[in-house]
Structure 1
Amino acid sequence: MDASKIVRRFLVPSPAITLYYLAKSGAQISPKAEVELSPHFAIGRQSVVSSFTKIKSSDGPLKIGSNVSISTGCFISSQYGGLEIGDHCLIGPNVSIIGNNYKYTELDTPLENQGITSKGIAIGRNVWIGAGCVILDGATIGNNVIITPNSVVSSKLPDNTIASGTPAKVIFKRR
Protein backbone atom coordinates (compact mmCIF):
# COMPACT_ATOMS: atom_id res chain seq x y z
CA MET A 1 0.00 0.00 0.00
CA ASP A 2 1.50 3.35 -1.01
CA ALA A 3 1.92 6.24 1.42
CA SER A 4 -0.85 8.43 -0.03
CA LYS A 5 -3.37 5.59 0.32
CA ILE A 6 -2.34 5.07 3.95
CA VAL A 7 -2.77 8.78 4.70
CA ARG A 8 -6.20 8.93 2.98
CA ARG A 9 -7.44 5.75 4.64
CA PHE A 10 -6.12 6.03 8.18
CA LEU A 11 -5.01 9.57 8.98
CA VAL A 12 -7.80 11.78 7.61
CA PRO A 13 -10.50 12.08 10.30
CA SER A 14 -14.09 11.19 9.40
CA PRO A 15 -15.50 14.67 10.16
CA ALA A 16 -13.02 16.14 7.63
CA ILE A 17 -14.23 13.71 4.97
CA THR A 18 -17.84 14.57 5.83
CA LEU A 19 -17.14 18.28 5.35
CA TYR A 20 -15.12 17.69 2.17
CA TYR A 21 -17.93 15.83 0.37
CA LEU A 22 -20.57 18.25 1.70
CA ALA A 23 -18.64 21.19 0.24
CA LYS A 24 -17.65 19.39 -2.98
CA SER A 25 -20.99 17.86 -3.97
CA GLY A 26 -23.60 18.62 -1.33
CA ALA A 27 -23.64 14.98 -0.19
CA GLN A 28 -24.39 14.19 3.45
CA ILE A 29 -22.00 11.58 4.79
CA SER A 30 -22.30 10.61 8.43
CA PRO A 31 -19.12 11.18 10.46
CA LYS A 32 -19.70 7.63 11.72
CA ALA A 33 -19.42 6.24 8.16
CA GLU A 34 -16.06 5.08 6.85
CA VAL A 35 -15.64 6.63 3.40
CA GLU A 36 -12.26 6.77 1.72
CA LEU A 37 -10.99 10.05 0.38
CA SER A 38 -10.07 8.83 -3.09
CA PRO A 39 -9.64 10.29 -6.58
CA HIS A 40 -11.68 7.28 -7.82
CA PHE A 41 -14.78 8.21 -5.77
CA ALA A 42 -17.55 10.58 -6.89
CA ILE A 43 -20.88 11.14 -5.17
CA GLY A 44 -23.80 13.18 -6.50
CA ARG A 45 -25.75 16.05 -5.00
CA GLN A 46 -28.21 15.39 -2.19
CA SER A 47 -26.97 11.82 -1.66
CA VAL A 48 -26.87 10.47 1.90
CA VAL A 49 -24.53 7.90 3.46
CA SER A 50 -25.67 6.73 6.91
CA SER A 51 -23.62 5.66 9.93
CA PHE A 52 -21.56 2.49 10.09
CA THR A 53 -21.43 2.22 6.30
CA LYS A 54 -18.05 1.52 4.69
CA ILE A 55 -17.24 2.69 1.15
CA LYS A 56 -13.92 1.60 -0.38
CA SER A 57 -12.85 3.02 -3.73
CA SER A 58 -9.07 3.21 -3.67
CA ASP A 59 -8.61 0.38 -6.18
CA GLY A 60 -11.17 1.34 -8.82
CA PRO A 61 -13.77 3.88 -9.93
CA LEU A 62 -16.92 4.24 -7.83
CA LYS A 63 -19.62 6.68 -8.95
CA ILE A 64 -22.75 7.29 -6.88
CA GLY A 65 -25.45 9.40 -8.54
CA SER A 66 -27.60 12.20 -7.13
CA ASN A 67 -30.32 11.69 -4.51
CA VAL A 68 -29.04 8.25 -3.53
CA SER A 69 -29.81 7.08 0.01
CA ILE A 70 -27.46 4.49 1.52
CA SER A 71 -28.73 3.15 4.83
CA THR A 72 -26.88 2.02 7.96
CA GLY A 73 -24.34 -0.80 7.99
CA CYS A 74 -23.71 -1.16 4.25
CA PHE A 75 -20.43 -2.26 2.64
CA ILE A 76 -19.65 -0.95 -0.85
CA SER A 77 -16.37 -1.75 -2.58
CA SER A 78 -15.17 -1.16 -6.12
CA GLN A 79 -12.19 -2.64 -7.88
CA TYR A 80 -10.65 -1.96 -11.30
CA GLY A 81 -13.88 -3.11 -13.05
CA GLY A 82 -15.72 -0.14 -11.52
CA LEU A 83 -19.03 0.39 -9.79
CA GLU A 84 -21.76 2.82 -10.79
CA ILE A 85 -24.99 3.55 -8.91
CA GLY A 86 -27.57 5.66 -10.76
CA ASP A 87 -29.63 8.59 -9.48
CA HIS A 88 -32.55 8.22 -7.03
CA CYS A 89 -31.55 4.81 -5.64
CA LEU A 90 -32.54 3.53 -2.20
CA ILE A 91 -30.12 1.08 -0.59
CA GLY A 92 -31.48 -0.59 2.54
CA PRO A 93 -29.57 -1.44 5.71
CA ASN A 94 -26.79 -4.05 5.73
CA VAL A 95 -26.50 -4.29 1.93
CA SER A 96 -23.15 -5.49 0.52
CA ILE A 97 -22.05 -4.44 -2.97
CA ILE A 98 -18.77 -6.20 -3.77
CA GLY A 99 -16.93 -5.32 -6.99
CA ASN A 100 -14.44 -8.19 -7.13
CA ASN A 101 -14.15 -11.95 -6.88
CA TYR A 102 -11.32 -14.38 -6.12
CA LYS A 103 -9.89 -16.56 -8.86
CA TYR A 104 -10.31 -20.23 -8.00
CA THR A 105 -9.09 -22.28 -10.97
CA GLU A 106 -5.96 -23.83 -9.38
CA LEU A 107 -6.81 -26.48 -6.80
CA ASP A 108 -3.24 -26.72 -5.44
CA THR A 109 -2.93 -22.96 -4.82
CA PRO A 110 -4.61 -21.21 -1.88
CA LEU A 111 -7.43 -18.90 -2.99
CA GLU A 112 -5.79 -15.77 -1.60
CA ASN A 113 -2.70 -16.45 -3.76
CA GLN A 114 -4.61 -16.77 -7.06
CA GLY A 115 -5.49 -13.08 -7.40
CA ILE A 116 -8.81 -11.43 -8.09
CA THR A 117 -11.08 -10.57 -10.99
CA SER A 118 -13.28 -7.51 -11.39
CA LYS A 119 -15.94 -7.29 -14.09
CA GLY A 120 -17.68 -4.26 -12.58
CA ILE A 121 -21.19 -3.56 -11.34
CA ALA A 122 -23.84 -1.28 -12.86
CA ILE A 123 -26.95 -0.23 -10.95
CA GLY A 124 -29.51 1.83 -12.89
CA ARG A 125 -31.69 4.77 -11.89
CA ASN A 126 -34.57 4.60 -9.40
CA VAL A 127 -33.56 1.23 -7.92
CA TRP A 128 -34.64 0.03 -4.48
CA ILE A 129 -32.34 -2.59 -2.92
CA GLY A 130 -33.93 -4.17 0.16
CA ALA A 131 -32.24 -4.83 3.50
CA GLY A 132 -29.56 -7.49 3.63
CA CYS A 133 -29.10 -7.90 -0.13
CA VAL A 134 -25.77 -8.86 -1.67
CA ILE A 135 -24.81 -7.52 -5.10
CA LEU A 136 -21.86 -9.44 -6.56
CA ASP A 137 -19.25 -8.58 -9.16
CA GLY A 138 -20.59 -8.70 -12.72
CA ALA A 139 -24.16 -7.79 -11.75
CA THR A 140 -26.14 -5.37 -13.90
CA ILE A 141 -29.37 -3.96 -12.48
CA GLY A 142 -31.67 -2.05 -14.83
CA ASN A 143 -33.70 1.10 -14.18
CA ASN A 144 -36.79 1.06 -11.91
CA VAL A 145 -35.90 -2.31 -10.34
CA ILE A 146 -36.94 -3.42 -6.85
CA ILE A 147 -34.91 -6.17 -5.15
CA THR A 148 -36.58 -7.82 -2.16
CA PRO A 149 -34.69 -8.17 1.14
CA ASN A 150 -31.94 -10.78 1.53
CA SER A 151 -31.64 -11.45 -2.21
CA VAL A 152 -28.33 -12.17 -3.95
CA VAL A 153 -27.79 -10.55 -7.37
CA SER A 154 -25.01 -11.99 -9.54
CA SER A 155 -26.30 -11.48 -13.10
CA LYS A 156 -28.49 -9.10 -15.13
CA LEU A 157 -31.89 -7.85 -13.98
CA PRO A 158 -33.91 -6.07 -16.70
CA ASP A 159 -35.60 -2.67 -16.36
CA ASN A 160 -38.96 -2.31 -14.55
CA THR A 161 -38.89 -5.60 -12.65
CA ILE A 162 -39.11 -6.90 -9.09
CA ALA A 163 -36.56 -9.60 -8.24
CA SER A 164 -36.27 -11.93 -5.28
CA GLY A 165 -34.27 -14.90 -4.05
CA THR A 166 -30.85 -16.48 -4.02
CA PRO A 167 -29.93 -16.09 -6.80
CA ALA A 168 -32.32 -13.21 -7.52
CA LYS A 169 -34.87 -13.95 -10.24
CA VAL A 170 -37.56 -11.73 -11.73
CA ILE A 171 -40.88 -12.42 -10.01
CA PHE A 172 -42.93 -9.53 -11.37
CA LYS A 173 -42.84 -7.05 -14.23
CA ARG A 174 -43.70 -3.47 -13.15
CA ARG A 175 -46.16 -1.65 -15.44
Structure 2
Amino acid sequence: MVKLSEKIKQTPQLKKTVLHLMMHPVKTRPRFWLRCLQFLYMKKGKKSVIYRSVRRDIVPFNIFIMGDHSVIEDYSIINNAVGDIVIGNYTRIGLGNTVIGPVTIGDKVNIAQNVVISGLNHKFEDIDKPIAEQGVCTKQVTIENNVWIGANSIVLSGIQIGKHVVVGAGSVVTRDVPPYSVVVGNPAKVVKQYNFQTKQWDKVIE
Protein backbone atom coordinates (compact mmCIF):
# COMPACT_ATOMS: atom_id res chain seq x y z
CA MET A 1 0.00 0.00 0.00
CA VAL A 2 1.37 3.37 -1.05
CA LYS A 3 1.85 5.79 1.83
CA LEU A 4 -0.30 8.91 1.83
CA SER A 5 2.74 11.15 1.38
CA GLU A 6 3.83 9.18 -1.69
CA LYS A 7 0.33 9.30 -3.12
CA ILE A 8 0.30 13.08 -2.72
CA LYS A 9 3.69 13.41 -4.44
CA GLN A 10 2.52 11.23 -7.34
CA THR A 11 -0.68 13.21 -7.94
CA PRO A 12 0.18 16.72 -9.23
CA GLN A 13 -3.20 18.35 -8.52
CA LEU A 14 -3.45 16.84 -5.05
CA LYS A 15 0.14 17.89 -4.34
CA LYS A 16 -0.64 21.45 -5.45
CA THR A 17 -3.74 21.58 -3.23
CA VAL A 18 -1.96 20.23 -0.14
CA LEU A 19 0.98 22.58 -0.68
CA HIS A 20 -1.41 25.54 -0.93
CA LEU A 21 -3.02 24.54 2.37
CA MET A 22 0.39 24.34 4.06
CA MET A 23 2.34 27.22 2.47
CA HIS A 24 1.27 30.85 2.05
CA PRO A 25 1.63 31.62 -1.70
CA VAL A 26 2.84 35.20 -1.18
CA LYS A 27 4.80 34.92 2.06
CA THR A 28 6.27 31.58 0.86
CA ARG A 29 6.39 30.26 4.40
CA PRO A 30 4.29 27.77 6.40
CA ARG A 31 0.83 29.02 7.27
CA PHE A 32 0.18 30.04 10.86
CA TRP A 33 -1.80 26.91 11.73
CA LEU A 34 1.06 24.71 10.56
CA ARG A 35 3.65 26.70 12.49
CA CYS A 36 1.58 26.11 15.63
CA LEU A 37 2.03 22.36 15.13
CA GLN A 38 5.78 22.37 14.55
CA PHE A 39 6.44 20.90 17.99
CA LEU A 40 4.85 17.69 16.69
CA TYR A 41 7.19 17.12 13.76
CA MET A 42 10.42 19.00 14.53
CA LYS A 43 12.97 16.62 16.02
CA LYS A 44 15.19 18.40 18.52
CA GLY A 45 17.80 16.67 20.70
CA LYS A 46 18.25 17.00 24.44
CA LYS A 47 19.44 20.37 25.74
CA SER A 48 19.34 21.89 22.26
CA VAL A 49 18.09 25.48 21.95
CA ILE A 50 16.33 27.40 19.20
CA TYR A 51 15.91 31.03 20.22
CA ARG A 52 12.44 32.58 20.00
CA SER A 53 13.39 35.12 17.32
CA VAL A 54 14.47 32.39 14.87
CA ARG A 55 12.24 32.22 11.78
CA ARG A 56 11.31 28.55 11.54
CA ASP A 57 10.06 27.83 8.04
CA ILE A 58 9.84 24.15 8.90
CA VAL A 59 7.35 21.86 7.16
CA PRO A 60 6.43 18.23 7.92
CA PHE A 61 6.97 16.84 4.41
CA ASN A 62 10.75 17.26 4.71
CA ILE A 63 13.08 16.29 7.57
CA PHE A 64 14.27 18.64 10.28
CA ILE A 65 16.55 17.01 12.86
CA MET A 66 18.68 18.83 15.41
CA GLY A 67 21.08 16.87 17.58
CA ASP A 68 21.92 17.17 21.27
CA HIS A 69 23.40 20.31 22.85
CA SER A 70 23.13 22.37 19.65
CA VAL A 71 22.05 26.00 19.34
CA ILE A 72 20.38 28.16 16.69
CA GLU A 73 20.91 31.76 17.73
CA ASP A 74 18.68 34.85 17.39
CA TYR A 75 17.40 36.20 14.07
CA SER A 76 18.41 33.16 12.05
CA ILE A 77 16.23 31.62 9.33
CA ILE A 78 15.87 27.86 9.03
CA ASN A 79 13.98 26.61 5.95
CA ASN A 80 13.44 22.98 4.99
CA ALA A 81 10.63 23.62 2.49
CA VAL A 82 12.74 22.47 -0.47
CA GLY A 83 15.05 19.99 1.27
CA ASP A 84 15.92 18.24 4.52
CA ILE A 85 17.93 19.94 7.24
CA VAL A 86 20.00 17.77 9.58
CA ILE A 87 22.12 19.40 12.31
CA GLY A 88 24.48 17.35 14.46
CA ASN A 89 25.46 17.47 18.13
CA TYR A 90 27.23 20.37 19.89
CA THR A 91 26.82 22.60 16.83
CA ARG A 92 26.17 26.35 16.94
CA ILE A 93 24.31 28.24 14.21
CA GLY A 94 25.26 31.89 14.81
CA LEU A 95 23.33 35.15 14.89
CA GLY A 96 21.45 36.03 11.72
CA ASN A 97 22.31 32.88 9.77
CA THR A 98 20.23 31.58 6.87
CA VAL A 99 20.07 27.82 6.31
CA ILE A 100 17.98 26.54 3.38
CA GLY A 101 17.87 22.80 2.71
CA PRO A 102 18.92 20.34 1.62
CA VAL A 103 21.71 20.84 4.15
CA THR A 104 23.50 18.44 6.50
CA ILE A 105 25.70 19.96 9.22
CA GLY A 106 27.87 17.69 11.34
CA ASP A 107 28.92 17.64 15.00
CA LYS A 108 30.82 20.44 16.77
CA VAL A 109 30.42 22.87 13.90
CA ASN A 110 30.71 26.59 14.69
CA ILE A 111 29.04 29.00 12.28
CA ALA A 112 29.60 32.71 12.97
CA GLN A 113 27.27 35.64 12.24
CA ASN A 114 25.33 36.38 9.03
CA VAL A 115 26.34 33.23 7.20
CA VAL A 116 24.22 31.90 4.31
CA ILE A 117 24.15 28.16 3.62
CA SER A 118 21.75 27.24 0.83
CA GLY A 119 21.06 24.11 -1.14
CA LEU A 120 18.65 26.06 -3.37
CA ASN A 121 19.09 27.81 -6.68
CA HIS A 122 16.58 29.48 -9.01
CA LYS A 123 16.24 28.25 -12.58
CA PHE A 124 16.84 30.93 -15.22
CA GLU A 125 17.58 29.22 -18.53
CA ASP A 126 14.33 30.11 -20.36
CA ILE A 127 14.76 33.74 -21.47
CA ASP A 128 11.09 33.96 -22.55
CA LYS A 129 9.86 33.28 -19.02
CA PRO A 130 10.38 35.35 -15.84
CA ILE A 131 12.96 33.79 -13.54
CA ALA A 132 10.46 33.91 -10.67
CA GLU A 133 8.19 31.53 -12.65
CA GLN A 134 10.84 28.97 -13.61
CA GLY A 135 10.97 27.19 -10.28
CA VAL A 136 13.99 26.09 -8.29
CA CYS A 137 16.56 23.33 -8.24
CA THR A 138 18.37 21.91 -5.24
CA LYS A 139 21.70 20.23 -4.53
CA GLN A 140 22.79 18.81 -1.20
CA VAL A 141 25.15 20.85 0.98
CA THR A 142 27.23 18.81 3.42
CA ILE A 143 29.36 20.31 6.20
CA GLU A 144 31.31 17.65 8.05
CA ASN A 145 32.34 17.57 11.71
CA ASN A 146 34.42 20.18 13.52
CA VAL A 147 34.16 22.97 10.93
CA TRP A 148 34.40 26.69 11.66
CA ILE A 149 32.75 29.09 9.20
CA GLY A 150 33.63 32.77 9.62
CA ALA A 151 31.17 35.67 9.63
CA ASN A 152 29.45 36.87 6.44
CA SER A 153 30.42 33.78 4.46
CA ILE A 154 28.29 32.07 1.80
CA VAL A 155 28.18 28.36 1.06
CA LEU A 156 26.54 27.61 -2.29
CA SER A 157 24.39 24.63 -3.27
CA GLY A 158 26.03 21.28 -3.94
CA ILE A 159 29.11 22.03 -1.81
CA GLN A 160 30.82 19.56 0.52
CA ILE A 161 33.08 20.95 3.25
CA GLY A 162 35.38 18.36 4.78
CA LYS A 163 36.26 17.66 8.39
CA HIS A 164 38.16 20.26 10.47
CA VAL A 165 37.96 23.03 7.86
CA VAL A 166 38.20 26.76 8.57
CA VAL A 167 36.32 29.07 6.21
CA GLY A 168 37.63 32.62 6.56
CA ALA A 169 35.25 35.50 7.19
CA GLY A 170 33.55 36.87 4.10
CA SER A 171 34.38 33.86 1.93
CA VAL A 172 32.17 32.58 -0.88
CA VAL A 173 32.51 28.81 -1.13
CA THR A 174 31.85 27.79 -4.74
CA ARG A 175 33.56 24.38 -4.79
CA ASP A 176 34.20 21.46 -2.46
CA VAL A 177 36.69 22.01 0.35
CA PRO A 178 39.09 19.18 1.31
CA PRO A 179 39.35 18.17 4.99
CA TYR A 180 41.91 19.77 7.30
CA SER A 181 42.28 22.93 5.28
CA VAL A 182 41.78 26.70 5.53
CA VAL A 183 39.98 28.54 2.73
CA VAL A 184 39.50 32.27 2.20
CA GLY A 185 38.28 34.68 -0.45
CA ASN A 186 35.72 35.01 -3.23
CA PRO A 187 35.78 32.43 -4.66
CA ALA A 188 37.24 30.65 -1.63
CA LYS A 189 40.65 29.06 -2.19
CA VAL A 190 42.74 26.76 -0.02
CA VAL A 191 45.53 28.74 1.66
CA LYS A 192 46.59 26.21 4.31
CA GLN A 193 46.54 22.41 4.58
CA TYR A 194 47.37 20.29 7.62
CA ASN A 195 50.43 18.09 7.18
CA PHE A 196 50.01 14.91 9.21
CA GLN A 197 53.70 14.03 8.91
CA THR A 198 55.06 17.30 10.31
CA LYS A 199 51.91 17.98 12.36
CA GLN A 200 51.85 21.56 11.12
CA TRP A 201 49.60 23.72 8.95
CA ASP A 202 51.45 24.29 5.67
CA LYS A 203 50.80 27.27 3.43
CA VAL A 204 49.47 26.35 0.00
CA ILE A 205 51.27 28.12 -2.86
CA GLU A 206 49.48 28.19 -6.19
TM-score, normalization by structure 1: 0.86
Q: Which among 194, 197, 204 is matched to residue 174 of structure 1?
A: 194
Flag structure 1 segments of 5+ consecutive residues without an equivalent: none
Q: CA deviation at 1:135?
A: 0.7
After the TM superposition, which of the residue ranges 156-165 and 34-43 deviates more from structure 2?
A: 34-43
Secondary structure at the aligned position of 2:99 is classed as strand
- Structure 1 residues 92 and 56 mapped into 2: Cα distance closer, same or farther (>3 Å)? same
Cα offsets for 1:105-162 (capped at 9, x unmatched):
2223221222221111111110000000011111110010000001001210000000
Check conservation: 2:139, 2:157, Cα contact below 8 A.
yes
| Partners of 1:29 and 1:48 within 8 A in 2 | yes
Identity of aligned residues (%): 31
SS at match of 2:32: helix
Indicate the residue corresponding to 1:31 in structure 2: 52
Higher relative contact order (CA 8 A, sep 6+): 1
What is the one-letter code of the residue matched to 2:163?
Answer: N
Q: Distance in 1 between matches of 2:21 and 2:155?
A: 31
> Are the equivalent residues in 1 in contact too, given 2:119–2:138 (CA < 8 A)?
yes
Report what 2:166 is aligned to: 146
Q: Secondary structure at the match of 1:3?
A: helix
Distance 2:126 2:44 in 1: 45
Given that 2:110 and 2:147 are in contact with CA atoms closer than 8 Å, whether structure 1 keeps it comes out as yes
SS at match of 2:52: coil
2:180 pairs with 1:160:
yes
Q: 1:173 aligns to what SS in structure 2?
A: strand
Deviation at 1:10, TM superposition (A): 2.7
Structure 2 residue matching 1:150: 3-state secondary structure: coil
Distance 1:37 1:101 in 2: 18
CA 1:5–1:113: 2 relative to 1, 3 Å: closer
Which residue number corresponds to residue 41 of structure 1?
A: 64
The one-letter amino acid paired with 2:111 is: I
The one-letter code of the counterpart of 2:87 is I
Name the aligned partner's letter for residue 31 of structure 1: R
What is the distance in 1 between the residues matched to 2:155 and 2:21?
A: 31
Q: Any residues of structure 2 matched to 1:99-118 within 5 Å, and which?
A: 99-118=119-138
Q: Could you tell me how far apart the structure 2 residues matched to 1:96 and 1:83 are?
A: 11
Match of 1:68 in 2: 91
| Residue 70 (structure 2) pairs with residue 50 (structure 1) | no
Count the aligned residue pairs: 169
TM, length-normalised to structure 2: 0.74
Q: Does 1:123 align with 2:136?
A: no
- The CA distance in 2 between the partners of 1:100 and 1:56, in whole Å, is 10
Find the aligned partners of 1:115 and 1:37 in 2 and give their Cα distance: 19
Distance in 1 between the 2:126 and 2:59 partners? 34
1:2 alignment counterpart: 20
User: Hey, what's the Cα distance between the residues in 1 that align with 2:140 and 2:58?
Assistant: 20
